[in-house]
Amino acid sequence: MTEFTLAQLEAAADRVHRVIAPTPQYCWPQLSRRLGAEVWVKHENHTEVGAFKVRGGVLHLADLRAAKPGLAGVVAATRGNHGQSVAFAATRNGLASTIVVPHGNSVEKNAAMRALGAELVEHGQDFQESLEHAFALAEERGLHFVASFAADLVRGVASYALELFRAVPDIARVYVPIGLGSGICAVIAARDALGLKTEVVGVCAENANAYALSFAAGRAVSTNSADTLADGMACRVPNNDALAIILARAARVVAVSEAEIKAAMRIYFSDTHNVAEGAGAAALAAALKEKEANAGRRVALVLSGGNVDRRQFAAILAEEP
């Protein structure tokens, strides 16, 4: 994937903002005091579908509809937020959407995708098995497969990074959760297009650490499982295009434990009264893990989504800190 110019990212952002309103970024006093830093949160939990992914979806599906006017429908694999993005954008463009999720997927994310117009197919025990089934359905039904990582998805998602960097100057470091990589690659693209020096740090779960292992090895490393409550980061096979960008232009990838993710979810609620899903809280968990390095600095956290099931969230809130 080539670098994007600022003009390309601004043109994409203009198209995204016709559908998706810019989200806020707030400096929360209690979070800042807790970390001993000036902490800004980019609230992608405030989009129409409660997560950042929809920014890329509206751009990609509009381009796809224009390029293939006879297209019957699309298919995608997801743990939830990519699927909501595809369903939202497909319905908006008059396309049918089929979304494949693993068994045991989030009940409320499944309900949201159905409400957005998707046909939901449950297949496999994890995202990778769902992904392989989605490929098969695309071939069987003549559907267009919508990947979780693609150039126009990154261009659309970069709209949130432009909003953040232009609203908050001189950010020393930004923490971004990694699923398949569109979020962190979008932040890197916007940073580079603006000519900034901000350090970009990726975050993954210790229980789904393919990107951390890959970063350390300098090549793609897959894992046998990705069993984490942070379903948006439950990846066991890295995307090669995303990994190339992360290896070349991210500072590092930090892995956080399930306990650290849960603690960050509780902290977001107590300090800001925002709901963060596991992946959404991961950036805060990583910043807390690197608290000493962040002391006295201006730091940004991407709260990538707030779509957590009520029962799961209630149980996490009830746990002792």
We report the CATH number of the domain holding residue 173 as: 3.40.50.1100
Residues 169 and 282 in one domain: yes
Half-sphere exposure of 139 (CA within 13 A, CB side): 5
Q: Are 74 and 61 in contact (CB under 8 A)?
A: yes
Read off the pLDDT band of 2 (50, 70, 90): low
pLDDT at 133: 93
The domain total for the chain is 2
Residue 99: inside a domain: yes
Residue 294: inside a domain: yes
DSSP state of 97: E
**pTM (two decimals):** 0.94
Which of 133, 106, 131, 95 shows the shortest CA–CA distance to 310? 106
The pairing of strands 25-27 and 38-43 is antiparallel
Alpha carbon distance 317, 195 (integer Å): 40
Which of 286, 287, 281, 285 shows the shortest CA–CA distance to 313? 281
Of the candidates 145, 173, 199, which is a domain's last residue? 145
- Tally of CB atoms within 10 A around 172: 16
pLDDT at 1: 59
Residues 166 and 273 in one domain: yes
Sequence-distant (≥ 6) Cβ neighbours of residue 63 within 8 angstroms: 152
Residues 111 and 249 in one domain: no
Residue 75 has pLDDT above 70, yes or no: yes
Residues 172 and 311 in one domain: yes
Could you read off the pLDDT of 291-307 as tens digits, one per residue? 999 999 999 999 999 99
Residue 156: inside a domain: yes
Read off the pLDDT band of 242 (50, 70, 90): very high
Of the candidates 102, 122, 145, which is a domain's last residue? 145
pLDDT at 34: 98
Could you read off the pLDDT of 264-293 as tens digits, one per residue? 999 999 999 999 999 999 999 999 999 999
Q: Pseudo-torsion of CA 222, 134, 72, 53, nearest 10°?
A: -50
Instruction: State mean pLDDT over 147-166.
Output: 94
Alpha carbon distance 8, 152 (integer Å): 10
Of the candidates 120, 145, 170, which is a domain's last residue? 145
Amino acid found at 87: A
Residues 231 and 270 in one domain: yes
Residues 129 and 277 in one domain: no
Residue 155 has pLDDT above 90, yes or no: yes
Residues 14 and 58 in one domain: no
Residue 92: inside a domain: yes
For residue 61, the enclosing domain spans 54-145
Residues 20 and 74 in one domain: no
Could you read off the pLDDT of 169-216 as tens digits, one per residue? 999 999 999 999 999 999 999 999 999 999 999 999 999 999 999 999
pLDDT at 128: 85
Residue 273: inside a domain: yes
- Tally of CB atoms within 10 A around 86: 30
- Percent of the chain at pLDDT exceeding 70: 99
Residues 48 and 58 in one domain: no
User: Buried (b) or exposed (e) across 190-205, using 16+ Cβ within 10 A?
Assistant: bbbbeeeebbbbbbbb
Alpha carbon distance 67, 1 (integer Å): 20
Residues 47 and 159 in one domain: yes
Alpha carbon distance 145, 165 (integer Å): 32
Residue 1: inside a domain: no
